[in-house]
Structure 1
Amino acid sequence: MSNDDQEELARRAAAGDSAALNELLGLIRPNVLRRCARFLPCWQDAEEACQDVLLQVARNIDRFEGRSAFSTWLHVVIANSARQTYRSLKRRAAEEAHEHPPVEVPDPRTTSVIAGSRLDLLDALERIEARKPELVAPMVLRDICQLEYREIAVQLSIPEGTVKSRIHQARGQVREYLTQGM
């Protein structure tokens, strides 16, 4: 199915066509899962985020206005849901650690470098979001979702120059955070 077909399904679903919504959800699921896996190092966590994204799409498709491509709108939903899943998992892990201190500490030599890098990036984004939340979305949409500056500007309703500036600032802060942790 082409992108045009997906866009048409999204428009029909936004207009209240439940058959189009079901078809759209089935169509986007594999892509959503792959994109969630870019954020979250554990496949089960990516699957949890994927289910959350599909639920958010089903609940909020009527908010899709067609100002940007459906895929752009979907990237924003994916990024927000994956980051929320990460925060939720982090909170649960902290609660469990408090209730049941871990017996075994993972060996850093056997921990995936990619997984560790993703977690470091998510931690950095969380720190930035606490201080300057407006910097996070543009960077995530550009560097993780790989959207064009123009698409990000449309999605966030800000000028393209502002998008570039915020991405530059966010990257600098992420770099600073990551080099402190080393």
Structure 2
Amino acid sequence: MERARTDLLSRARGGDGEAFRALTEPHRRELQVHCYRMFGSFQDAEDALQDTLLSAWRGLSGFDGRASIRTWLYRIATNRCLSALRAAKRRPAKEWDIPGVEPPEPTRLGEVAWLEPYPDALLDGAIAVPLGPEARYEQAESISLAFVTALQALPPRQLAVLILRDVLGFPAAEVAGMLDTTVESVKSALKRARAGLPRRRPTVTEPAPAAGSPAEDALVARFVSAYETADIAALVTLLTDDAFMSMPPLPFEYEGREVVGHFCASLFGAGRRFDLVPTRANGQPAFGAYLRTPGGVRHGTGLYVLTLTGDRICGMSRFENSVFPAFGLPRSLPDR
């Protein structure tokens, strides 16, 4: 195995693109997820991944082999993300633009509006990777929307350290090497990051049913039935008392069963009805919502991601239809 890897490395250094891909492809998906945790943006993560692979290709002659290829790639990816985060200007929150819908007054305006979901179809081989002994988070938890949202509140350096140490379990010495700093600095940044990580919404008080289990299928089926028939009473009974709804990139956030129900009722106003197409995002049930029209064509309006706790829904996140392509969802559906 080691001899084969050495041969690939030698060929890659000689300009063999296929050998380079053989070295890097096993780490491609996990690196993309790493970049996604850093940015909270699927598109930004994909851009950072491409920059990482290009930098690795160009800098392969400088790889001395003292660290593993995986660690070396994480070093490049993390520093690419840090440079981008430091250079990025804060994007203004988007204004309400859903025609014909007057939203209720939000509970609050969220600070992390520019967030995108991550397709489960791309998670294969990305989160089932060996973690270091110091990892503190389960793989499923570490990709959840609530966790990724909470990460975005941290300063870039603290964000990187917390992901590398607590999510991936890299030793402090390796993280220090990746970030060109000292072990003491890494420990200090990790302490501040843990203290500064905000309380996550929605609040999950019981484990969610397993993906694809009869319990999850039953809960999801009840949600689809209530939503597609605009049955607000049935929808509200599925929510926890402190159910939470966010709407990236709109800053509107709603908290409380009745408040979330009131918002959903505003979407169903003027006889608007929707069909839901199932998918999965961030390890959670998700749906493309398609507005029925008199002409029969159904237009995609947004993507909903559900957070489950026990046999209830404690969170709903609505994203714009611009995320549809990443999930293989069409912008519109023909008449049934």
CA displacement at 1:75 relative to structure 2: 1.1
SS across alignment from 1:44: helix
SS across alignment from 2:79: helix
Give, in whole Å, the separation in 2 of the partners of 1:72 and 1:35: 12
2:175–2:186 CA contact under 8 A, matched in 1: no
Residues 66-101 of structure 1, C-alpha deviation per residue, up to 9 Å, x if partnerless? 11111111111111122233334x32x54xx4xxx8
AA in 1 matched with 2:52 = V
Give, in whole Å, the separation in 1 of the partners of 2:83 and 2:176: 22
2:56–2:76 CA contact under 8 A, matched in 1: yes
Match of 1:21 in 2: 20
Match of 1:132 in 2: none
CA displacement at 1:61 relative to structure 2: 1.3
AA in 1 matched with 2:156 = L
Structure 2 residue 185 is the aligned partner of structure 1 residue 166: yes
The 10-residue stretch of structure 1 (52-61 or 5-14) with the greater mean CA deviation from structure 2: 5-14
Match of 2:331 in 1: none
CA displacement at 1:40 relative to structure 2: 2.3
CA displacement at 1:39 relative to structure 2: 1.9
Q: When you count strand as a share of all residues, which structure comes out higher?
A: 2
SS across alignment from 2:192: helix
Residue correspondence of structure 1 range 42-61 to structure 2 within 5 A = 42-61=41-60
1:139–1:166 CA contact under 8 A, matched in 2: no
Greater relative contact order (CA < 8 Å, ≥ 6 in sequence)? 1
AA in 1 matched with 2:153 = D
Looking at CA atoms only, which structure, 1 or 2, has the larger radius of gyration? 2
Residues 105-124 of structure 1, C-alpha deviation per residue, up to 9 Å, x if partnerless? 9954x975333212112xx2
2:48–2:81 CA contact under 8 A, matched in 1: yes
Give, in whole Å, the separation in 2 of the partners of 1:175 and 1:138: 10
AA in 1 matched with 2:42 = W
Structure 2 residue 169 is the aligned partner of structure 1 residue 146: yes
1:9–1:23 CA contact under 8 A, matched in 2: yes
Q: TM-score, normalised by structure 1?
A: 0.63
Q: Cα–Cα, structure 1 residues 45 and 153, in superposed 2: closer, same or farther, change >3 Å?
A: closer
Give, in whole Å, the separation in 2 of the partners of 1:4 and 1:142: 30
Match of 2:33 in 1: 34
Give, in whole Å, the separation in 1 of the partners of 2:65 and 2:74: 14
Q: Cα–Cα, structure 1 residues 33 and 125, in superposed 2: closer, same or farther, change >3 Å?
A: closer
CA displacement at 1:145 relative to structure 2: 4.1
Give, in whole Å, the separation in 2 of the partners of 1:39 and 1:8: 33
Residues 25-77 of structure 1, C-alpha deviation per residue, up to 9 Å, x if partnerless? 44432232122223221212211111111111112111111111111111111
Q: Size of the alignment, in residue pairs?
A: 157
CA displacement at 1:18 relative to structure 2: 3.5
Q: TM-score, normalised by structure 2?
A: 0.38
Q: Which of 145, 149, 170 in structure 2 is aligned with 1:116?
A: 149
AA in 2 matched with 1:103 = E
Q: When you count helix as a share of all residues, which structure comes out higher?
A: 1
